[in-house]
């Protein structure tokens, strides 16, 4: 995320004829990402870890933002990165795509661990079909 922010500030700007449209698109995307990210953080609170393995004593979160998508924190980061890059720089957009790929791999590893740890995870995954962003496969 730091590299995306810096590249948005220091990288080349979007062409003038596209920048206004991209800003109009990017701002609400970033705001939506912030809402999704905060919703995920509030729900997970003390169980949060940067590692894919769930903490001992953690409970499976299925409500709130986790009732919309299985990885709202990752989805929020993705939307913020895309929104920021649309308002700032094509270089930032390239890095945002890289972030999506990293989080895709991490989420798959995390889901395999959640599936092993929580017997109800498969039913949750079937009920909450979206991984990162509501309405986006």
Q: Which is it for the CA torsion 33, 52, 55, 135, positive or negative?
A: positive
pLDDT tens figures, 1-57? 999 999 999 999 999 999 999 999 999 999 999 999 999 999 998 889 999 999 998
Question: What tens digit of pLDDT does each residue of 47-67 get?
Answer: 899 999 999 989 999 999 999
Tens digit of pLDDT for each residue in 50-109?
999 999 989 999 999 999 999 999 999 999 999 999 999 999 999 999 999 999 999 999
Number of alpha carbons in the 13 Å side-chain half-sphere of residue 53: 2
Query: What's the pLDDT band for 137 if we cut at 50, 70, 90?
Result: confident
The first and second tokens of residue 128, run together, are: 């909450």
* CB 107, CB 128: distance < 8 Å: no
Asked whether 78 and 130 are in contact (CB, 8 A), the reply is no
Instruction: Return the domain boundaries, the chain.
Output: 2-6+18-46+60-127
């Amino acid at each position: 995320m730091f590299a995306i922010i810096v590249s948005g500030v220091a990288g080349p700007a979007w062409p003038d004829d596209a920048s206004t449209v991209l800003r109009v698109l990017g701002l609400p995307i970033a705001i939506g990402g912030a809402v999704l990210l905060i919703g995920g953080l509030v729900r997970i609170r003390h169980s949060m870890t940067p590692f894919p393995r769930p903490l001992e004593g953690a409970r499976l979160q299925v409500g709130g933002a986790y009732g919309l998508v299985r990885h709202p924190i990752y989805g929020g980061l993705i939307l913020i990165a895309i929104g920021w890059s649309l308002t700032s720089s094509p270089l930032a957009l390239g890095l945002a795509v890289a972030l999506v790929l990293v989080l895709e791999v991490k989420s798959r590893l995390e889901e395999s661990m959640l599936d092993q740890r929580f017997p109800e995870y498969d039913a949750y995954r079937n009920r909450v079909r979206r991984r990162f962003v509501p309405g986006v496969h």
